[in-house]
Copies of this chain bind each other. A is one copy, B any other.
Amino acid sequence: MSLRSALLALITAGPMTGYDAAKRFAGSVGNIWYASDSQIYPELRKMEADGLLSTRPVPWGSKGTTKTEYTVTEDGKAALGDWVASPLTYTLERDPVRLRTAYLEWTDPATARQHFQEHIEHHSRVLQMAEEQIEEITRRTHPTLRRRLETYDDAEARRVVEFKLMAYRGVCARSQAEIDWAEECLGTLQAL
């Protein structure tokens, strides 16, 4: 139900169409919980069917065509509240990187080195993304956040901003740890 919660949380920032939701998703929550457009559209419909979202057709173009605008219902807000308050279920480790690392004796040193280098590159990209988000959140230039903050007073807004920052600081901390680890491994590899 994470996708559902992510969408619910996103749309609490304000009513938006499916397309708009998909775009905003990619620029905000999607950095933390990735979902493809082909997952988002059907999920929105299911959420409407379940009463978490209400819809309103809004005209689009000149030919009388419409697009669908979604708004979070009271039930939707309640569901979001339930979700944040429910205990997280931690699934047991399932880590492709560590799995690969544990059996690197089955390849040559050059390939092993490359494995760690790619890990560093990947997490450098993630780190950069997270730092950009932190920047936009701190300066409150992030479009979706901006919209969300309109409905809060100053003290509440500070709280809202702080939680978003915590999340991305976590992403940074994690990626930095991954980079440090991979660099240490590269060192050990040399010595081997």
In the bound complex, CA of A32 to CA of B92 (Å): 8
CA A31 to CA B93, docked complex, whole Å: 6
Shortest beta-carbon distance from A169 to chain B in Å = 7
Residues of chain B within 8 A (CB-CB) of A102 are 9, 29, 32, 163-164, 166-167
Chain B residues within an 8 Å CB radius of A111: 84-85
A107 with B85: CB separation less than 8 A: yes
- CB-based nearest B residue for A33: B99
B32 touches A98 (CB 8 A): yes
Query: Complex formed: what's the CA distance from A108 to B163 in Å?
Result: 12
Give bound CA distance, A81 to B106, whole Å: 6
Query: Does A49 make an interface contact (CB < 8 A)?
Result: no
A88 close to B105 (CB less than 8 A): no
Contact of A88 among B6, B90, B118, B156 (CB under 8 A): B118
Question: Which of the candidate stretches A14-22, A50-58, A63-71, A173-181 sits at the interface with the other chain?
Answer: A173-181
Interface residues, chain A, with chain B CB atoms under 8 Å away: 2, 5-6, 9, 29-34, 80-81, 84-85, 87-88, 90-107, 111, 114-115, 118-119, 122, 126, 156, 158-160, 162-164, 166-171, 173-174, 176-178, 180-181, 184-185, 188, 192
